[in-house]
């Protein structure tokens, strides 16, 4: 194929930038004629973004880059096997952290730039070296070990890419035990504390995964009794490039009668009970014992929905699988799958759900959730939903979490 023909057929036509309507940063849009096979984003320094884009139709030629962008200073393109590597130099008037995700309405890919303190982004990137793009090899951090009996020289041209692509499967789960430290969460019957119950359940879920799914890595947002801010929980998941984020909680009510489990994914709450749960889980207890109500506006939710419809639909499917396991495996009363504007889910750039395992204000459910038997059953139900989703995703070879 001639260079002229390659340029004409380039799937990546142009790049544009726009300021986010929430005022928190910018969105860089990569306009694509067809859906990309896969992609990966790196941030080796505060003003440098690197993006690996894999697709047979993408090339380095004839890509229009904005000349008067408020955030892009320069963009360069390099060939890599089955795709291109993109280097974007940012104008250093602000500092940003970057997330990459597909646009839910088109084939485009989006780079979300969120303003962040200089010290934070410098600390995160100081040990991250830039990728050296090569037309003969993939970025070093993406290369698996060379299989025994093979050498670098006799691996087929497509070999590294194919192995990397197969590695981009469901292999990392982020478990988020709610609350912690001075933030006890709900206080239940006999003064039991939500933060202790959910940490125990999360570790049991992780234990089941380690034992039965050895190819899946478990990341915890906290492994002991410490306070982690709502926004930081999602950031932990993003930094570890999780494939699924599950935030584990216990419910409570002023009455001792309500009972049962609920599973939430991000969306506009449609019931009063969902609104009440959202307000409680978005309330943070500060170290001085004062409380702070985190808010997520409908406009922010709309922006997220437009950019992450794929994640949301996957989250809804996983929520349904969790609900089924609570009803079938744990034989607990299910109060259904619901939506609400949870801050902790908003900051996780991946399919994400929040589980309310039961009401610790209800004496019977409180006794169940504090017992070894009850926690094992709840953890087993969560694990089974994760396992079933992993099996379905990989069997269908249509993994929506590939990045």
User: Using CA of residue 113, residue 118, residue 120, residue 124, what is the dihedral sign?
Assistant: positive
Outline where DSSP puts E strands in 132-289: 172-177, 217-220, 244-251, 261-266, 283-285
Please indicate, yes or no, whether residues 372 and 259 belong to a single structural domain of this protein.
yes
Which of 158, 187, 206 is the last residue before a domain boundary? 158
Q: Is the pTM of this model over 0.85?
A: no
Please indicate, yes or no, whether residues 273 and 389 belong to a single structural domain of this protein.
yes
* Residue 263, SS3 per DSSP: strand
pLDDT given at position 166: 42
Kindly report, residue by residue over 352-392, the tens digit of the pLDDT: 999 999 999 999 999 999 999 999 999 999 999 999 999 88
Number of domains in the chain: 2
For residue 255, CA distances in Å to 26, 29, 94, 186, 266 come to 45, 49, 49, 13, 27
% of the chain at pLDDT higher than 90? 48
Kindly report, residue by residue over 86-125, the tens digit of the pLDDT: 999 999 788 999 988 888 778 899 999 999 998 888 888 8
In 213-282, which ranges are continuous DSSP H helix?
230-239, 272-281
**Spatial CB neighbours of 302, under 8 Å, sequence gap ≥ 6:** none
Residue 272 belongs to domain with CATH number: 3.40.630.40
Please indicate, yes or no, whether residues 375 and 247 belong to a single structural domain of this protein.
yes
Please indicate, yes or no, whether residues 382 and 251 belong to a single structural domain of this protein.
yes
**Spatial CB neighbours of 353, under 8 Å, sequence gap ≥ 6:** 245, 246, 247, 263, 264, 265, 315, 318, 319, 322, 345
Please indicate, yes or no, whether residues 281 and 390 belong to a single structural domain of this protein.
yes
Q: Tell me the pLDDT band of 308, cut-offs 50, 70 and 90.
A: low
Residue 140 belongs to domain with CATH number: 2.60.40.3500
Please indicate, yes or no, whether residues 299 and 358 belong to a single structural domain of this protein.
yes
Statement: residue 1 has pLDDT above 70: no
State mean pLDDT over 288-298.
73
pLDDT given at position 180: 95
Please indicate, yes or no, whether residues 144 and 223 belong to a single structural domain of this protein.
no
Kindly report, residue by residue over 49-96, the tens digit of the pLDDT: 999 998 888 999 989 998 889 999 999 999 988 889 999 999 978 899
Q: Tell me the pLDDT band of 135, cut-offs 50, 70 and 90.
A: low
Residue span of the structural domain in which 222 resides: 172-396
The reply to whether 163 falls in a domain is: no
């Amino acid at each position: 194929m001639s260079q002229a023909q390659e340029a004409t057929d380039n799937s990546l036509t142009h790049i544009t930038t726009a300021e986010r309507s929430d005022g928190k940063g910018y969105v860089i849009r990569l306009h694509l004629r067809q859906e990309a096979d896969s992609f990966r984003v790196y941030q080796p320094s505060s003003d440098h973004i690197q993006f690996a884009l894999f697709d047979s139709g993408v090339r380095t030629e004839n890509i229009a880059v904005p000349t008067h962008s408020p955030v892009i200073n320069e963009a360069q393109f390099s060939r890599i096997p089955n795709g291109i590597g993109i280097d974007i130099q940012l104008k250093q008037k602000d500092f940003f952290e970057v997330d990459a995700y597909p646009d839910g309405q088109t084939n485009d890919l989006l780079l979300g730039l969120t303003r962040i303190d200089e010290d934070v982004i410098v600390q995160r990137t100081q040990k991250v070296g830039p990728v050296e793009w090569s037309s003969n090899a993939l970025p070093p951090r993406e290369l698996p070990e060379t299989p025994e009996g093979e050498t670098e020289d006799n691996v087929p041209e497509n070999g590294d890419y194919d192995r990397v692509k197969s590695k981009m499967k469901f292999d990392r789960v982020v478990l988020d035990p709610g609350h912690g430290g001075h933030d006890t969460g709900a206080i239940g019957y006999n003064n039991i504390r939500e933060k202790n119950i959910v940490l125990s359940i999360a570790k049991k879920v992780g234990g089941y995964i380690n034992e039965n799914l050895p190819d899946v890595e478990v990341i915890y947002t906290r492994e002991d009794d410490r306070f982690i801010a709502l926004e930081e929980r999602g950031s932990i998941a993003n930094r570890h490039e999780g494939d699924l984020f599950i935030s584990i909680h216990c419910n409570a009510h002023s009455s001792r009668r309500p009972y049962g489990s609920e599973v939430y994914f991000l969306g506009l709450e449609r019931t009063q009970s969902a609104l009440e749960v959202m307000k409680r889980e978005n309330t943070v207890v500060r170290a001085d014992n004062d409380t702070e109500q985190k808010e997520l506006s409908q406009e922010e939710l709309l922006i997220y929905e437009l950019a992450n419809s794929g994640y949301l639909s996957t989250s809804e499917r996983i929520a349904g699988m969790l609900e089924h396991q609570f009803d079938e495996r744990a034989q607990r009363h299910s109060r259904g799958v619901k939506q609400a504007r949870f801050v902790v889910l908003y900051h996780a750039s991946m399919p994400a759900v929040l589980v309310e395992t039961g009401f610790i204000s209800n004496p019977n459910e409180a006794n169940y959730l504090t017992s070894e038997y009850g926690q094992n059953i709840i953890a087993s139900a969560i694990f089974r939903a994760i396992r079933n989703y992993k099996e379905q995703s990989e069997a269908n070879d249509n993994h929506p979490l590939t990045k």
